[in-house]
Structures are given as C-alpha cells and as structure tokens.
Amino acid sequence: MIRFDGRVAIVTGAGGGLGRTYALELAKRGAKVVVNDYGGSLAGGAGTSEAAERVVAEIVAAGGEAKANGASVSDPAGVDALVRDAMEAYGRVDILINNAGILRDKTFAKMSFDDVRAVLDVHLYGSFLCTKAVWPIMQQRGYGRVVMTSSGSGLFGNFGQANYAAAKLGVVGLMNTLELEGAKYDIRINTIAPSAATRMTEALMPPDMLARFDPALVMPGVLFLVSEDAPTGVVLAAAAGVFCTARIAQTVGVALDPATLDVDAVAAHWSAIADESKLLDFDSVGRQTQYFYERATDNVPAK
C-alpha cells in the first residue's frame, strides 16, 4: 500500500471537489495536510476559509492531522504565508498539488482582458507562485513531488474557454521546464488533466455524465503522481476511473533543400511534413534543436 507517513502536503483549492478528495486521501494515508482554499466564487470573488476548515474538520474527525489556510494562490504575500504556515506547523513540505481554479467563460469576441488576467492569475501564476515558494525547501531536502492541473481544454481546446485553455496549457510548459531543473534534487513534477463533476463543471455536463464523473475516481491517479515512486514530466488525463497519458509530439517532417526552399516547396511537401504515422518525443528544446540540425545535415535520415 502506498503511504505518505511523515510527509507534509499542501493542496490548493482543497475546500471541495477534486482538491478535497486529494486532501482526505493523503491524510488517510498518513500525510499531514495543509488544506488551502480561498473560498471565493466560481469567478474568483472574495471568500473565506470556511471551506478549508470544513475539510480539516473531516480529516481530524477521521484521526488525521491538517491545517486550514484561506490564502489566494494569486497573491504573492498570501502564498508566502501559506508556505510559512506549513513550515511553522510541520517543519517541511514534501508535496504540492496545484489545484486551485476559477472560470470566466465567454467567447473570445466578448472576453475582456480582465477575464483573461483573472484566470491566468489563479491557474498559471498561482501554480508558479506556489511552486516557487516550496522550491527551495524541496531543493534543500533533496525531495519533492509537485502536481500541476491542466485540462482537456488546454490540451485540445474548448469553445468559450480561450483564457482557461491558455492557462491550462501554460502549466504544461511550466512542468516541462521544472522537470529538467528539479531532476538533480529528486523533485518530480507531473500534470493531471482531469474531468470531474465539480462546481466548475456541474453546469457543463448532463446529469448522466455528472453521475459517472465522481472526483474520487480521479484522485488515485494524483496520489500516484505524488508518491515516492512517481514518474516525472507526465501529463495524466483522468476521468470516471479511466487513466491515459497525453503528450506533445512532433512529426518526423521533411528536410528541404535551402537552395530551393520557398513557400511553394512547403506547400508541395505539406502531406509529408504533417504525416503523423511516426511521432517523436523530445525531453527538451535542446534535443529538438539538435534533431533539426541533424536532419538538415543528413546525419539522421528520415525513417
């Protein structure tokens, strides 16, 4: 059985939905949990720490140990206080699950800059701030497990969610770089792309889907991503007890002769350029750049 005895976890947005299930199960399996939730409206309006305190009460009633925190993840001072609270209470932070989120859905034509900024502040900048705050702690201890939260909207797009989709793909890029920078400290960083029946989705899913998309059916995948034997750099898509990995990949492509290269040459070779019968993964942009160089100089023939 995977256990988290002696570990300290911060879970943001844990006053309900997915975050609550993560916090409850981490505590059940031995972790001390800082339950963070701003307690605001779905659009990010001001709130209270009551939701976080209710989850803490559940954990304590079940024999676990937890502490509530009502900071907004988009507030740098609040995030610093969140991590300081965790350190004062428990002396360490081993796990961070960046789960907090808001929605401001509108078509792109009607979306204001404030709608974009508010969503990026919580999802993207909030994930950055929380991870940045625990990073030196994890570096010093030589151990850390971090989960970002993406979405099918970020991976594949969704009508009316340009702001949300941009933020949700942004955290994947953040993960890809932090995977490289955290490797020597055994800081493993992964991303969950969940679909679940929460207050963010209850108006978007029909009743039969809501019944099947219990947040508790995503939770086991997230706990695996923060376990001692977790992978790193993985995007795990999860819903209704179904788990899949997702990736950003590149076609083999075509190396065109610079002497005759023009837009007509690209158009003429487009079918081969876009041929997805073989896809390539790269562990960094440096490896991708090397691939371009090798193909261009014919050191690696197309397969």
Q: Can you read off the two tokens belonging to residue 295?
A: 């193909």
Which tokens sit at 228? 């001692």
Token pair, residue 61, equals 């009633």
The terminus-to-terminus CA distance of the chain in angstroms comes to 44
Cα distance between residue 199 and residue 201, in whole Å: 5
38 a catalytic residue: no
Structure letter (DSSP) for residue 148? E
Q: Which of 22, 90, 125, 164 is labelled catalytic?
A: 164
Residue 209 region by backbone torsions, left for phi larger than 0, else alpha for psi between -120 and 50, else beta = alpha
Could you tell me how many helices (H) and strands (E) the chain has, helices first?
12, 10
Tell me the C-alpha distance between 78 and 270, whole Å.
50
Annotated active-site positions, please? 164
